[in-house]
């Protein structure tokens, strides 16, 4: 089990590196309110990340969404994707999967909030032709592991990524997408 206190300290140091100032952390009340709007809780490491580091604005490439607040947030993007997913046709976004980062080109990093470890998924819809289960990939078994990869600059999204950083299909995508609310 990783030392989450040490991990969050290292994330905070990297996030605070020279450049744009970070937004303030979310308050405990803001996290609880966001969970209420979402209708589900977020994994403890994700809640601590938002409360102890910053309310978004750091992380790989395009940086984490703010959890809540003004503009585009993890909460608003979740509701957008779920709404589009439920408006006819095949579902493309499973319940309780919170988008945390927009990679561009329709791709997202998302956290499976049913997983206590915060499994990190990659949604890559390009070229799946409506077979939405094929758009979902396992990026990391845990948010802590995903953050470690970002800190070490060895993620699949890095220019010099090696073959070991390959991602695999999310095996439960078809089942989760077929669930009725």
Residue 43 has pLDDT above 60, yes or no: yes
Question: What is the rounded CA–CA span in Å between residue 26 and residue 53?
Answer: 9
CB 21: neighbour CB atoms within 10 A?
8
Q: Are 115 and 89 in contact (CB under 8 A)?
A: no
Q: In this predicted structure, what is the pLDDT of residue 57?
A: 95
Residue 165 has pLDDT above 80, yes or no: no
Q: What is the mean pLDDT of the chain?
A: 92
Burial class of residue 113 in the structure, from the number of CB atoms within 10 Å of its CB (0-12 exposed, 13-18 middle, 19+ buried): buried
Residue 84 has pLDDT above 90, yes or no: no
Please state the domain extents for the chain: 4-178
Exposure on the CB side of residue 63, measured as CA atoms within 13 A: 19
Q: In this predicted structure, what is the pLDDT of residue 89?
A: 67
Q: What is the pTM of this model?
A: 0.94
* CATH number of 4-178, picked from 1.20.120.80, 3.40.47.10, 3.40.1580.10, 3.30.420.40: 3.40.1580.10
């Amino acid at each position: 089990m990783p030392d989450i206190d040490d991990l969050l300290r290292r994330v905070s140091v990297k996030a605070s590196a020279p450049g744009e100032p970070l937004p303030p952390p979310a308050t405990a009340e803001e996290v609880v309110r966001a969970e209420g709007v979402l209708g589900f809780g977020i994994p403890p490491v994700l809640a601590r990340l938002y409360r102890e580091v910053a309310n978004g604005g750091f992380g790989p490439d395009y940086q984490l969404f703010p959890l809540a607040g003004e503009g585009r947030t993890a909460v608003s993007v979740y509701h957008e994707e779920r709404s589009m997913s439920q408006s006819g046709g095949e579902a493309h976004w499973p319940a309780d999967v919170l988008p945390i980062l927009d990679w561009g080109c329709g791709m997202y990093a998302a956290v499976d909030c049913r997983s206590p470890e915060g499994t990190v998924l990659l949604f890559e819809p390009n070229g799946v032709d409506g077979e939405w289960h094929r758009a979902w990939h396992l990026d990391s078994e845990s948010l802590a592991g995903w953050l470690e990869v970002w800190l070490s600059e060895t993620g699949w999204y890095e220019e010099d990524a090696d073959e070991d950083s390959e991602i695999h299909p999310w095996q439960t995508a078809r089942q989760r997408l077929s669930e009725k609310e």
